[in-house]
Amino acid sequence: MAAREDSAARSCPRPQEAGPLLEAVREREAQLEARAREIADRERALEAAQATYREQAARLDEAEKRLAETLALADTAADRDVARLVAVYEAMKPKDAAAIFESMDVTFAAGFLARMKRDAAAEKAYSISVVMAGRNARAPTR
């Protein structure tokens, strides 16, 4: 047992040799504590950023929902307006409707004709064709 104690005593640094080693351990401990504080600060900043992100994402989702509802209302209102115009054009005399349709862009006018009842659309389309073909009939050819 004395041999073991003697061996242990030889492997342990003497107090005068332990000073620099103890100082190095204390310095490393201070560095690790500073690093731990830095990591804790970063974690708090990250948690705050995540909370802000979640809050902004929730606001964005709500804004998108309101926008979709507004667009749906606008689409419904536009559809009702177009349906009213279609009914007005269907009720008009073909010659009067043809004058209006002639001034419209072809694609725009076609949208109205597509929504009209078949008989009314055919009558209006024929009238439009007659008006458009006839408007240049008197133009000089040379």
Predicted model pTM = 0.47
Contact 130, 98 (CB under 8 A): yes
Contact 101, 128 (CB under 8 A): yes
The token duo for 106 is: 């072809």
Q: pLDDT tens, position by position, for the chain (142 residues)?
A: 555 666 655 666 666 677 888 899 999 999 999 999 999 999 999 999 999 999 999 999 999 999 999 999 998 998 898 889 888 888 888 888 888 888 888 888 888 888 888 877 777 777 777 766 666 666 666 6
Contact 135, 99 (CB under 8 A): no
Q: CA end-to-end span of the chain, whole Å?
A: 133
Rounded distance between C-alpha atoms, residue 89 and residue 104, angstroms: 13
The token duo for 58 is: 């929730």
Cα 53 from chain centroid (whole Å): 15
